[in-house]
Structure 1
Amino acid sequence: MSATSLRLVAHAHTGALRRGVFGAGDDDLDEGGRQAALALVGPDRRTPLGRVDLCLTSPAAAAAQTAYALGLRPTVEAALADCDYAAWAGRSLADVGAREPEALRQWWESPEVAPHGGESLAALRDRVGGWLDGQLAPGVRIAAVTHPMVVRVAIVHALQLPMAVLPSLDVAPLAVVRLSRHGSRWRLQFTAPRVGPGSERRPTG
């Protein structure tokens, strides 16, 4: 039986994301982010994602705009929404750290708590993990364009890692994480870059 193939894509830059703002994906892509996404599409209309049979995105504007810039036709999936940061939404990490350092520390160190009054990291993992475990489409290549935090949580869930590793994972805008599922286990895939025509290495000796 063919494996389920999933590409998790972090949306491109927004102005809020550059400023380190919670809920940054609610903004439109900035011009740099849009151009960076467009630049990933080659003259043959290929992207680093390879063949995509189904594209899903977070409800946020930045995710859908990234998908369209990559030449995809997305369908909104609510489970891919960013964490609900409630009172922290629109505020920068630096601001929250300066004004509410203890609350920020608790948020990172105790996944079950939500000092901002919104969604805890544990709740986010339950939501994203439930969606991830429901992706049973052997032979179908799925691209999911979402938020860096959602990608991080998905990696933790897929590899059955403790939540304590979450702060150690960095996901850059337009990063692509490849997962495959055979049976009940997800695997993280590391692939070699595509070699274009005429660029193959030739023996030198």
Structure 2
Amino acid sequence: MSATSLRLVAHGHTAALRRARFGGDDGLDEGGRHAALALSGLGRRASSGDTDACLSSPAPAAVQTAYALGLAPAVETALADCDYGDWTGRSLEEVAAARPDALREWLSTPDAAPHGGESVAALRERVGRWLDGQRGLGRRVTAVTHPLVIRVAVVHALGLPLAAYRQLDVEPLAIVRLTDHGPRWQLRLSAPPESAAATPPNG
């Protein structure tokens, strides 16, 4: 089987992300758009032969990030953000005030879904199935998605305990590279694109 190379890109900043809100359909805010445009060299290299396909979460922020990078994404529902149920659009602070026990349960138990949506364990199963399906295809794929999706993808790819996702921090526009050499995925760390050095502070 041919090796697959995945470049997982976290979408840029949104108002909801800056305010620590659960999910939502926000597009990129001004700072997020400018930061993504500053990384457009990534998209130029990808479109010129560095990638075979660009995929994106259905969320506006992910689609807009892909286009800002100079890519033309195809929507992949498996890369959608976690379904936060009735917490969607609410801030961490609001949920902590209204349902502190439920929030503690969600933060400490990956199988819990006190909001009535999708547990982190269910998210890992969904993302893990998609990731496993990419193995051996020999494709170079750029996928723009959400920080939590990337965190559980890394946990799945490296065979880590699910609770380890809490120890991973994925910032907006972070890039994680996975390659399926041998029997398991390998995490590849490399220098950022040259254009990243010119990225202005998010504002």
Question: TM-score, length-normalised on structure 1?
Answer: 0.87
Larger radius of gyration: 1
Distance 1:193 1:18, change over 3 A: closer
Which residue of the partner structure matches residue 201 of structure 1?
A: none
Which residue of the partner structure matches residue 74 of structure 2?
A: 75
Matches within 5 A, 1:37-48: 37-42=36-41, 45-46=44-45
Q: How far is the alpha carbon of 1:139 from its aligned partner?
A: 3.7
Hey, what's the Cα distance between the residues in 1 that align with 2:114 and 2:74? 32
Aligned CA-pair RMSD: 2.1
Hey, what's the Cα distance between the residues in 2 that align with 1:44 and 1:89? 31
Which residue of the partner structure matches residue 177 of structure 2?
A: 178
Which residue of the partner structure matches residue 202 of structure 1?
A: none
Q: How far is the alpha carbon of 1:168 from its aligned partner?
A: 1.4
1:122 lines up with 2:101 in the alignment: no
Question: TM-score, length-normalised on structure 2?
Answer: 0.88
Which residue of the partner structure matches residue 8 of structure 1?
A: 8
Which residue of the partner structure matches residue 131 of structure 1?
A: 130
Q: How far is the alpha carbon of 1:78 from its aligned partner?
A: 0.6
1:52 lines up with 2:51 in the alignment: yes
Q: How far is the alpha carbon of 1:190 from its aligned partner?
A: 1.0
Question: 2:42·2:193 contact (CA, 8 Å) conserved in 1?
Answer: no
Q: How far is the alpha carbon of 1:99 from its aligned partner?
A: 2.2
Hey, what's the Cα distance between the residues in 1 that align with 2:142 and 2:171? 17
Hey, what's the Cα distance between the residues in 1 that align with 2:194 and 2:59? 34
Q: How far is the alpha carbon of 1:92 from its aligned partner?
A: 0.8
Hey, what's the Cα distance between the residues in 1 that align with 2:58 and 2:136? 22
Q: C-alpha offsets along residues 36-76 of structure 1, whole Å, 9 cap, x if unaligned?
A: 000012499347xx812100000111100000000111000
Question: 2:42·2:69 contact (CA, 8 Å) conserved in 1?
Answer: no
Question: 2:41·2:193 contact (CA, 8 Å) conserved in 1?
Answer: no
Q: How far is the alpha carbon of 1:136 from its aligned partner?
A: 2.8
Which residue of the partner structure matches residue 163 of structure 2?
A: 164
Q: Which runs of 5+ in 1 are unaligned?
A: 197-205
Matches within 5 A, 1:15-30: 15-24=15-24, 26-30=25-29
Distance 1:2 1:191, change over 3 A: farther
Q: Compare the two structures and name the one with the higher helix fraction.
A: 2
Q: Which runs of 5+ in 2 are unaligned?
A: 196-203
Question: 1:5·1:138 contact (CA, 8 Å) conserved in 2?
Answer: no
**Matched-pair identity in %:** 66
Q: C-alpha offsets along residues 16-42 of structure 1, whole Å, 9 cap, x if unaligned?
A: 111111004x11111111110000124
